[in-house]
Chain A
Amino acid sequence: MENHPIDQLFKEKLGNFEQVPPVDLLDKIHQEVIFRSRVRRLNQVKAVIGIAAALVLIMLAGWYTSSLNQYAGNKISAISQENNTSEQTSPAISTPVTAKSEHPLMAYQQSQSQIKAKQNNGTTKIFQGQKKITPVPSGNEPMAIAPVNEESTKGTTTTKPSSVSKETAKTESVQKNSQKRKEPLYFADSQFGTNVPQKNPVKGSWVIKAELSPMFAPQNQSGSSSGSANTKSINTLSGGMIASYKLSKRISISSGVRFSQMKQGTHTDYSISSTSGIMYLQPVEKSANISRDVSLYLPSLSSIVYSNGMKSSSSNIFASDISQEFKYIEIPLQATYKLIDDKLSLGLTGGIGTNILVGNLASITENGIKLSQGDTNNLRNIIYSGTAGLEVGYVIGKNLILTVEPRVKQYMHSVSTNDLVDYKPLQLGIFTGIAYTFK
């Protein structure tokens, strides 16, 4: 690099140039940081809502597919029953099978020819001897194929109803066939020409539930070091939308989106001090609870008030009430085991939840007057929680179930990342909701 005199001159004079920026710039920076953090959280919430919407869409698609299958199954059963009925009421009809039908496709051919015969000639059509049948599967509808074995194809070649005794024999033969067709049906994939055995869908596979509950927080926090601060938890509300899938008769899993809150009030002695034009809020004796990490803003003074760690030049001690509120979006994953599954159902439920911090508010009041508001520092953005409880359901309509679920929720991590604060709240809720069952 060249060592030019101009470069030297400017580097010497400006290389370590320092100048104090305007005082209000720090406020602007703090406001911008808070604003961007809110925007980021809002984006996270949007992402969560997007995921939830996608889950709901997937569930709806699953429900739609299962209902389609169920509809197709019902249709095929109806066709089968119709065949049986017509055969029973028209003893003149018989199935002309001349070769052994070992493959189900042959059985399909038989059933198709029967249907055609019914449609064309009603009950008077009689097949004349051996006839080659060309299968013409329809492209849109699933086909029903009855399993056929050798026995079912034997002795069914009667073509001439010449006498009453023969007709009686045919009737017996048809009855035998119709009995055999009462065996389980299989769906034939008309597109691929393969037979895929499929289970009947479980009734009530999908359940969508809206629930709401007051949340009680039984424990209080006390500052372990001094005992001067005493934090009381305040009851809040929680609610959300949950989708459940019934895995078996007794076990189901559920997930969705739930909003939950934590709220607490702390009465303690604080001092407000001022250093270099910036105001600080400082507990007189430091507590070990979450109230130690509050940051409060005094807009009128255009300055920031902070808790712990700052030395003050002058101070005024006063008693204050600090209110803190944390809001979370929870994505639960729960399993339920049904003990009783009737009009009144009872089950055990438990699972885990991912709680994403979406709101953080703190305010300070003195004699009922709100002095300022800000937020709590060092909050964990994501906390995992465990849930356990009972699920009581009562059928109130064709597809509607009223649910009451007393549940306990325990946060697995401390709400704060501050090592001095170990606050893992326990919350009790009685969730009341309406569930809609897709059948």
Chain B
Amino acid sequence: MRRLSCVVQKSSKPFIRLFKVTQLEEIIYKCREGNSKAQTELYRLFSPRMYGVCKRYARDSADAEDILQEGFVRVFTKIRQFEFKGSFEGWLRRIMVNTALEKFRKLDRLYPVEEMKIYESTEWVEETISTITADELMTMIQELPPRYQMVFNLYAIEGYSHLEIGEMMNISEGTSKSNLSRARLILQKKVSENFGTAKKLIEKAI
């Protein structure tokens, strides 16, 4: 399994606690005035997490950097549209996801994928799960077919419904469900192949 060489920052506390809300608001207000220093500060605060988001939607690191760059440029130019209703991080994340979606649409990556074999569903013991690193899982996600990757990210990690995903990607709700199932199966197979200690379950994923 290929491992990424980048440094991973792990924070146990919720991200917002790392920075006082009032200070964050002050930075946002300064960013609205075009203050470069505040923009730098905002970037420093949120770029590691947003880069993580971008990597999940990208094919590789270069793709992720492009999405992050375009996303932050949009954030800085449209920050006046943020009305302090809801979480700022959520707003940022939505911008990154939309940027990724647009990029994939432009590159015509959301082509339909072929029928795939249905793999048996597996369940892993706790020890197996603890040995899998985030980088390894990230690589698995990046190797998914583009549409499966997008649907899986949106549903399993971002928490969007199939209806919302269908609207975002211009596909039907059924297609979204189907793509998710296939994405799960592929990931399941990859985990099983790479971590042989996984024990098979009788039940199927679908």
Is there contact, CB below 8 Å, between B134 and A306? no
Query: CA–CA, A13 to B157, complex, Å?
Result: 10
Q: Does chain A have a CB within 8 A of B55?
A: yes
Contacts of B8 in A (CB 8 A): 17-19
In the complex where A10-B141, A33-B39 touch, is A21 in contact with B68 (Cβ < 8 A)?
A: yes
Q: What is the CB-to-nearest-CB distance from B29 to chain A, in angstroms, rounded to a whole number?
A: 10
By beta carbon, the residue of chain B nearest A15 is B157
- Bitwise interface map of B from 22 to 56 toward A, beta carbon under 8 Å scored 1, else 0: 00000000000111110110010001110111011
Is there contact, CB below 8 Å, between A19 and B7? yes
Q: Does chain B have a CB within 8 A of A417?
A: yes
Is there contact, CB below 8 Å, between B205 and A4? yes
By beta carbon, the residue of chain B nearest A32 is B73
Is there contact, CB below 8 Å, between B159 and A1? yes
Is there contact, CB below 8 Å, between A17 and B37? no
Contacts of B11 in A (CB 8 A): 16, 18
- Bitwise interface map of B from 1 to 31 toward A, beta carbon under 8 Å scored 1, else 0: 0001011111100010000000000000000
Query: CA–CA, A418 to B26, complex, Å?
Result: 13
In the complex where A21-B51, A37-B34, A377-B34 touch, is A14 in contact with B56 (Cβ < 8 A)?
A: yes
Is there contact, CB below 8 Å, between A33 and B156? no
Q: What is the CB-to-nearest-CB distance from B120 to chain A, in angstroms, rounded to a whole number?
A: 13
Query: CA–CA, A307 to B76, complex, Å?
Result: 19
In the complex where A26-B40, A33-B76, A37-B34 touch, is A10 in contact with B48 (Cβ < 8 A)?
A: no
Contacts of B35 in A (CB 8 A): 377-378
By beta carbon, the residue of chain A nearest B14 is A16
Q: Does chain A have a CB within 8 A of B129?
A: yes
Contacts of A306 in B (CB 8 A): 36-37, 40
- Bitwise interface map of B from 173 to 185 toward A, beta carbon under 8 Å scored 1, else 0: 0000000000010
Is there contact, CB below 8 Å, between B37 and A295? yes
Contacts of B102 in A (CB 8 A): none
- Bitwise interface map of B from 121 to 146 toward A, beta carbon under 8 Å scored 1, else 0: 10110000100111001100100000
The number of chain B residues touching the other chain, given as a range, is 35 or more
Contacts of A378 in B (CB 8 A): 33-35
In the complex where A19-B52, A20-B48 touch, is A304 in contact with B36 (Cβ < 8 A)?
A: yes
Is there contact, CB below 8 Å, between B49 and A18? yes
Give the residue among A10, A22, A295, A377 with the most B Cβ atoms within 10 A: A10
Q: Does chain B have a CB within 8 A of A278?
A: yes
Instruction: Choose one: A6, A16, A21, A295; the contact of B156 (CB below 8 Å).
Output: A6
By beta carbon, the residue of chain A nearest B184 is A6
Q: What is the CB-to-nearest-CB distance from A271 to chain B, in angstroms, rounded to a whole number?
A: 15
In the complex where A13-B134, A306-B36 touch, is A18 in contact with B10 (Cβ < 8 A)?
A: yes
- Bitwise interface map of A from 1 to 45 toward B, beta carbon under 8 Å scored 1, else 0: 100111101110111111111100110111011001100000000
By beta carbon, the residue of chain A nearest B152 is A10
Interface residues in A111-141 (C-beta closer than 8 Å to B): none
Contacts of A20 in B (CB 8 A): 6-7, 9, 47-48, 51
Give the residue among A33, A36, A307 with the most B Cβ atoms within 10 A: A33
Instruction: Choose one: B40, B48, B56; the contact of A21 (CB below 8 Å).
Output: B48
Contacts of A379 in B (CB 8 A): 34
Is there contact, CB below 8 Å, between A19 and B205? no
Contacts of A308 in B (CB 8 A): 37
In the complex where A5-B123, A17-B138, A295-B36 touch, is A10 in contact with B156 (Cβ < 8 A)?
A: yes
Q: Does chain B have a CB within 8 A of A184?
A: no
Q: Does chain B have a CB within 8 A of A51?
A: no
Interface residues in A292-312 (C-beta closer than 8 Å to B): 295, 304, 306-310
Instruction: Choose one: B33, B156, B188; the contact of A377 (CB below 8 Å).
Output: B33
Q: Does chain A have a CB within 8 A of B197?
A: no
Q: What is the CB-to-nearest-CB distance from B173 to chain A, in angstroms, rounded to a whole number?
A: 14
Q: What is the CB-to-nearest-CB distance from A11 to chain B, in angstroms, rounded to a whole number?
A: 5
Is there contact, CB below 8 Å, between A22 and B65? yes
Query: CA–CA, A14 to B134, complex, Å?
Result: 6
In the complex where A4-B184, A17-B55, A17-B56 touch, is A30 in contact with B39 (Cβ < 8 A)?
A: yes
Q: What is the CB-to-nearest-CB distance from A35 to chain B, in angstroms, rounded to a whole number?
A: 9
Contacts of B9 in A (CB 8 A): 18-20
Is there contact, CB below 8 Å, between B184 and A29? no
Give the residue among B52, B77, B132 with the most A Cβ atoms within 10 A: B52
- Bitwise interface map of A from 202 to 244 toward B, beta carbon under 8 Å scored 1, else 0: 0000000000000000000000000000000000000000000
9 residue pairs, one from A and one from B, having the closest CB atoms? A17-B52, A7-B156, A18-B48, A21-B51, A306-B37, A18-B9, A295-B36, A6-B184, A13-B134
Cross-chain pairs A/B with CB under 8 angstroms, 19 sampled: A1-B159, A6-B156, A11-B156, A16-B11, A16-B52, A17-B52, A17-B134, A19-B7, A19-B9, A26-B40, A26-B43, A29-B43, A29-B73, A29-B76, A33-B73, A33-B76, A36-B73, A306-B36, A306-B40
Q: A1-B161, A28-B69 known; 15 other A-B pairs, CB under 8 Å?
A: A6-B188, A10-B137, A10-B152, A11-B157, A14-B134, A14-B141, A16-B11, A19-B51, A20-B6, A21-B51, A26-B47, A29-B76, A32-B69, A278-B40, A306-B37
